[in-house]
């Protein structure tokens, strides 16, 4: 029976050694991995090497009386068993042979988890730029929602160390990004994953980074859309420099720098406006004040300490800063907000790895800082969208000092906005300028984590155990409407400082029978808000036990897996403290924090069938049902919506079927097709939504309250993803002028078709629902992405390529949001008319010649006054049309990148 359940950074290498003549097993043969002999074959000629780090390795077999055989380029994936079989001759001449080894997680019953992988080389071949985009190709993924989980409910594991933005993952993201050039592989596990990584309601994103190779190699790449024009030029630049290699003494180093700037970091594909005077009419592609730049820098050092010990040191820093377009500030962009997120991760991993026992001691420090507000000064662009200096925000010193007393007064530097006079229409309506919304938000999260993992292996089973402890430090500050003093409708500033602690322990075993594998695990989690939160000390630590069970067997050439598991996840710490925010879209601007929040929980059942219809194709079918409970939502305490408090009151379930068929790239082509049918229901999509209840009243009786759920905002019923790739040989194509211009040409196409997300219809006034919540559907979404790459020979060890990356190749205007009262992306003519009438009634006064609002084209009688309905109202109508453009109802437009790279 093949190898064991693997840790998240490691796989196993298994196989048989047989004589060429007669296929007689060779017992007692020594098996070496990268120069160290770690295992021996048993009487059946079988061997197994456990805890092999994901990546490329050299496997050698030697035995007295037989030739020594070495197999280069053995690729091991995390959590997989790579089969390498040897056939040896009775000679002693050393002769290296290159053979392709293969991993078979499809038919391997020890692989209980539902895992979808993408390798570092695939990231380079596919039209994806980041790890998040790559993981989003997985079946069951709706953006960063996996199998119906909310944003932020995924766990992130980097080289075996858990990393989590425990403060505000649901609204803020992780804060660090792994440069794709640092990756060996990234995978998404949606069920059945080890009890070692239990804190994930939705999915586990596992990333394994490179170790420095035995030879120096590197890459420098630059991609941009500068050569293009019109809507194809969106102001993108990206530069990547990476290198890895030996430093001597067995020390390996990897370093990557990945920077990107976009003049429009969130482009829209909305139709151009009909008004000729609207400046967007001639240039609908890019939005102003919407630029962004990011820097990701990572480095890793691997130091062998002798014998089976090694030390890995890793450092990562990510910074991203964005200007955020706000339609209200279309003509006075200085009032629109900006945002900056920076993250640092430093970790160390001391490992002792032998074939029967592996121990990892890990320590990690993670920090993240978030700021959002009005910029103190507008940035200067030095090259493309790169400013080269950090954003500074008005009030940031006050926010960092968390001085809520001083924050009761208006924040110096913030001014109240007024109606803009810089619009083509001039009238005081809809658009603001001269000030900002006045919000100031800042938070800081630090975590020091220690983790110990052990694995013990034997011929019939493996046992894993370990634990972790993490101490966190949280500081937050929020102020809304900062240009006004606190009072009346302006909530006070909120700040918090607390030091929570989390801890976990786990034990997991896997027993292997002749034709089955039984996996069982138990995980203990706890989190303690600490004493910094009012009430935190009273409630103390929350605890949870999460068992896992899995059974797999092979039936008629297919592997059947049944698994059941309970998963617990601590809520975002932001829900433990008060939140003050200026939000015109939701009800109220204040939520009370609840230090008594407990774990969010899920129980998932899954049945999987995996088979190989042919030697080069695989087919996987997963059927799952996940029950959600204790999700955080907002609970009204009274009539005033601002009195809502966070509570563990949301519940729901997610059920679905995933079908994944794949033919890996072989003989010049490969394809992967994944289809997901999924239903995700609960009562609230995120914690800021109020929980919804309805009273069911059949026959006059009232049932109160009904345990009713509704489709979640990311309940995507049908999802189809087709990935096709081709790679021509080095001799392909015609010969022109002595060279073959298409030799080695690569192409990859990703086609995505999915049903639209649900939305809630309301009446025109917006105060009554039409039908149940989320009972209507947006139109179907479809995109085609493509990457074409042509290698270039540069001589010697140097290679290069030019490539063209196109997203949304067909420039489809995918509708991603509609107005609830009409079901259409844009306002109706009647709504525009009503908006204009209301605005005109509020300001019917004439506009004189000297006013900055005066527009000569509207002064029909030329008397120096725009007055009366005849002259004024058409301006309000045009302003309403301008304001009502459905900019964010559509997905991104077609985006091009032309790139060149040099590799050695």
Asked if residue 869 binds other proteins (CB under 8 A), the reply is no
Contact letters for other proteins, residues 562-591 (x by CB under 8 A):
------------------------------
Asked if residue 286 binds other proteins (CB under 8 A), the reply is yes
**Of 121 and 845, CB closest to other proteins:** 845
**Of 385 and 570, CB closest to other proteins:** 385
**Least separation, in Å, of the C-beta of 904 and other proteins?**
12
Asked if residue 94 binds other proteins (CB under 8 A), the reply is no
**Of 330 and 610, CB closest to other proteins:** 330
Question: Does residue 221 contact residue 259 with C-beta atoms inside 8 Å?
Answer: no
What is the distance between the alpha carbons of residues 233 and 237, in angstroms, rounded to a whole number? Answer: 11
Report DSSP state, residue 334: G
Asked if residue 879 binds other proteins (CB under 8 A), the reply is no
**Least separation, in Å, of the C-beta of 434 and other proteins?**
6
Which residues 299-358 are close enough to bind other proteins by CB under 8 A? 330-331
Question: Residue 296 forms beta bridges with which residues?
Answer: 258, 318
Could you say which of 73, 283, 702, 780 contacts other proteins (CB under 8 A)? 283
Handedness of CA 853, 854, 855, 857 (dihedral sign): positive
Asked if residue 800 binds other proteins (CB under 8 A), the reply is yes
Asked if residue 536 binds other proteins (CB under 8 A), the reply is no
Report DSSP state, residue 592: B
Could you say which of 20, 215, 718, 793 contacts other proteins (CB under 8 A)? 793
Asked if residue 794 binds other proteins (CB under 8 A), the reply is yes
Q: Largest alpha-carbon pair distance within the chain? A: 109
Report DSSP state, residue 165: -
Question: Residue 848 forms beta bridges with which residues?
Answer: 865
Asked if residue 226 binds other proteins (CB under 8 A), the reply is yes
Asked if residue 235 binds other proteins (CB under 8 A), the reply is yes
Assigned token pair, 297: 């820098």
DSSP run (H or E) holding 778: none
Contact letters for other proteins, residues 387-426 (x by CB under 8 A):
----------------------------xxxx--xxxx-x
What is the distance between the alpha carbons of residues 600 and 621, in angstroms, rounded to a whole number? Answer: 28
Could you say which of 280, 322, 626, 881 contacts other proteins (CB under 8 A)? 280
Taking 3-state DSSP, the helix, strand and coil percentages for the chain, each rounded to the nearest 5, stand at 10, 50, 40
Beta strand ranges found along 480-616 (DSSP E): 494-498, 501-512, 516-528, 542-555, 558-569, 579-580, 590-591, 600-614
Asked if residue 741 binds other proteins (CB under 8 A), the reply is no
**Of 325 and 759, CB closest to other proteins:** 325
**Of 11 and 424, CB closest to other proteins:** 424
Asked if residue 900 binds other proteins (CB under 8 A), the reply is yes
Asked if residue 275 binds other proteins (CB under 8 A), the reply is no
Which residues 56-85 are close enough to bind other proteins by CB under 8 A? none
Assigned token pair, 475: 């500081």
Asked if residue 378 binds other proteins (CB under 8 A), the reply is no
Gap between the terminal Cα atoms of the chain: 41
Asked if residue 222 binds other proteins (CB under 8 A), the reply is yes
| 708 contacts: CB under 8 Å, gap ≥ 6 | 683, 693, 694, 696
**Of 17 and 895, CB closest to other proteins:** 895
**Least separation, in Å, of the C-beta of 477 and other proteins?**
25
**Of 284 and 571, CB closest to other proteins:** 284
Q: Which residue matches tokens 């009503």? A: 834
Asked if residue 534 binds other proteins (CB under 8 A), the reply is no
**Least separation, in Å, of the C-beta of 741 and other proteins?**
12
Torsion of the alpha carbons at 360, 200, 209 and 723, rounded to the nearest 10: 150
**Of 25 and 272, CB closest to other proteins:** 272
Contact letters for other proteins, residues 829-868 (x by CB under 8 A):
--------------x-xx-xxxxx-xxx------xxx---
CA distances (Å), 256 to each of 243, 253, 835, 856, in order?
A: 7, 10, 52, 57
What is the distance between the alpha carbons of residues 186 and 424, in angstroms, rounded to a whole number? Answer: 49
Torsion of the alpha carbons at 771, 772, 774 and 778, rounded to the nearest 10: -20
Could you say which of 287, 295, 353, 682 contacts other proteins (CB under 8 A)? 287
Asked if residue 743 binds other proteins (CB under 8 A), the reply is no
What is the distance between the alpha carbons of residues 641 and 619, in angstroms, rounded to a whole number? Answer: 50
Could you say which of 127, 384, 457, 630 contacts other proteins (CB under 8 A)? 384
Asked if residue 742 binds other proteins (CB under 8 A), the reply is no
Q: Which residue matches tokens 């390498």? A: 84
Does residue 891 have a cis peptide bond before it, meaning omega lies within 30 degrees of 0? no
Report DSSP state, residue 375: B
What is the distance between the alpha carbons of residues 246 and 275, in angstroms, rounded to a whole number? Answer: 62
Asked if residue 282 binds other proteins (CB under 8 A), the reply is yes
Q: How many residues bind other proteins (CB under 8 A)?
A: 63
**CA proximity to 574, closest of 491, 475, 640:** 475
**Least separation, in Å, of the C-beta of 262 and other proteins?**
10
Positions in the binding site for other proteins (CB under 8 A)? 222, 224, 226-227, 229-230, 233-235, 237, 263-264, 279-280, 282-290, 330-331, 384, 415-418, 421-424, 426, 428, 434-435, 792-796, 798, 800, 802, 843, 845-846, 848-852, 854-856, 863-865, 898, 900, 902
């Amino acid at each position: 029976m093949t190898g064991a359940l693997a840790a998240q950074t490691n796989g196993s290498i298994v196989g048989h050694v047989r004589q060429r003549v007669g296929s007689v097993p060779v017992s007692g043969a020594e098996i070496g991995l990268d120069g160290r002999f770690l295992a021996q074959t048993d009487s059946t000629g079988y061997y197994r090497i456990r805890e092999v780090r994901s990546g490329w390795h050299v496997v050698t077999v030697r035995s007295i009386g037989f030739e020594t055989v070495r197999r280069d380029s053995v690729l091991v994936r995390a959590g997989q068993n790579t089969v390498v079989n040897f056939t040896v001759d009775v000679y002693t001449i050393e002769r290296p042979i290159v053979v392709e080894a293969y991993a078979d997680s499809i038919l391997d019953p020890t692989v209980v988890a539902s895992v979808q992988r993408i390798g570092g080389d695939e990231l380079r071949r596919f039209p994806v730029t980041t790890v998040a985009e790559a993981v989003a190709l997985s079946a069951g993924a709706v953006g960063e929602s996996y199998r119906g989980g909310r944003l932020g409910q995924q766990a992130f594991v980097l080289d075996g160390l858990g990393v989590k933005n425990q403060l505000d993952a649901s609204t803020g993201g992780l804060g660090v990004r792994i440069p794709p050039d640092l990756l060996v592989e990234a995978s998404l596990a949606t069920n059945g994953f080890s009890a070692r990584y239990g804190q994930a309601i939705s999915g586990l994103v596992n990333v394994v980074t490179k170790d420095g190779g035995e030879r120096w190699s590197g890459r420098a790449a630059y991609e941009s859309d500068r050569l293009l024009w019109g809507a194809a030029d969106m102001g993108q630049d990206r530069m990547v420099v990476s290198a890895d290699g030996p430093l001597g003494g067995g020390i390996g180093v990897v370093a990557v720098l990945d920077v990107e700037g976009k003049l429009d970091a969130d482009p829209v594909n909305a139709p151009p406006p009909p008004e000729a005077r609207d400046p967007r009419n001639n240039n609908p592609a890019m939005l102003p004040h919407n630029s962004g730049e990011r820097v990701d820098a990572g480095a890793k050092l691997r130091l062998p300490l002798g014998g089976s010990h090694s030390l890995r040191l890793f450092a990562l820093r990510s910074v991203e800063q964005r200007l955020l377009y706000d339609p209200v500030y279309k003509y006075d962009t200085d009032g629109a907000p900006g945002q900056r997120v920076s993250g640092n991760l430093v970790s160390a991993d001391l490992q002792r790895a032998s074939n029967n026992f592996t121990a990892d001691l890990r320590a990690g420090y993670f920090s993240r800082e978030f700021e959002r507000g009005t910029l103190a000064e507008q940035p200067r662009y030095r090259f493309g969208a790169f400013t080269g200096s950090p954003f500074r925000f008005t009030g940031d010193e006050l926010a960092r000092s968390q001085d809520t007393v001083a924050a009761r007064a208006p924040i110096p530097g913030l001014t109240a906005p007024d109606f803009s006079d810089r619009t083509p229409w001039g009238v005081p309506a809809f658009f603001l300028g001269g000030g900002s919304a006045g919000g100031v938000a800042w938070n800081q999260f630090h975590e020091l984590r220690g983790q110990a993992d052990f694995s013990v292996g034997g011929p019939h089973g493996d046992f894993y155990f370990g634990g972790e402890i993490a101490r966190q430090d949280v500081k937050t500050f929020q102020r809304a409407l900062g240009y006004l003093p606190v009072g009346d409708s302006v909530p006070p500033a909120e700040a918090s400082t607390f030091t929570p602690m989390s801890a976990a322990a786990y034990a997991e075993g896997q027993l292997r029978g002749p034709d089955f594998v039984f996996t069982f695990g138990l995980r203990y989690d706890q989190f303690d808000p600490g004493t910094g939160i009012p009430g935190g000390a009273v409630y103390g630590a929350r605890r949870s036990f999460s068992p896992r069970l899995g059974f797999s067997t092979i039936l008629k050439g297919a592997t059947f897996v049944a698994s059941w598991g309970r998963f617990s996840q601590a809520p975002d710490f932001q829900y433990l403290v008060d939140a003050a925010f200026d939000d015109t879209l939701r009800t109220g601007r204040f939520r009370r924090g609840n230090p008594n929040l407990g774990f969010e929980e899920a129980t998932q059942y899954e049945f999987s069938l995996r088979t190989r219809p042919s030697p080069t194709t695989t087919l996987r079918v997963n059927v799952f049902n996940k029950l959600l409970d204790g999700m955080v939502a907002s609970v009204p305490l009274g009539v005033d919506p601002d009195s809502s408090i966070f509570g563990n009151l949301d519940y729901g379930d997610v059920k679905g079927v995933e079908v994944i068929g794949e033919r890996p790239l072989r003989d010049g082509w490969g394809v992967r097709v994944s289809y997901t049918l999924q239903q995700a229901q609960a009562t609230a999509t995120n914690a800021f939504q109020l929980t919804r209840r309805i009273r069911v009243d059949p026959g006059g009786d009232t049932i109160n309250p009904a345990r009713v759920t509704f489709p979640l905002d990311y309940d995507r019923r049908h999802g189809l993803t087709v990935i096709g790739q081709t790679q021509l040989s080095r001799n392909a194509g015609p010969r022109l002028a002595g060279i073959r211009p298409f030799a080695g040409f690569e192409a990859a196409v990703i086609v995505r078709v999915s049903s639209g997300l649900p939305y809630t219809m309301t009446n025109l006034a917006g105060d009554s629902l039409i039908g149940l919540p989320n009972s209507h559907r947006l139109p179907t979404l479809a995109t085609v992405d493509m990457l074409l790459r042509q290698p270039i020979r540069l001589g010697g060890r140097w290679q290069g390529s030019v490539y063209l990356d196109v997203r949304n190749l067909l420039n489809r205007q995918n509708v991603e949001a509609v107005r609830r009262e009409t079901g259409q992306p844009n306002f109706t003519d009647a709504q525009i008319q009503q908006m204009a009438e209301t605005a005109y009634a509020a300001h019917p006064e004439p506009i004189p010649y000297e006013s900055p609002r005066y527009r000569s084209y509207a002064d029909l009688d030329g008397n120096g006054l725009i007055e009366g309905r005849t002259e004024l109202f058409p301006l309000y109508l045009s302003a309403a049309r301008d304001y009502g453009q459905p900019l964010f109802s559509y997905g991104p437009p077609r985006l091009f990148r032309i790139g060149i790279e040099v590799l050695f």
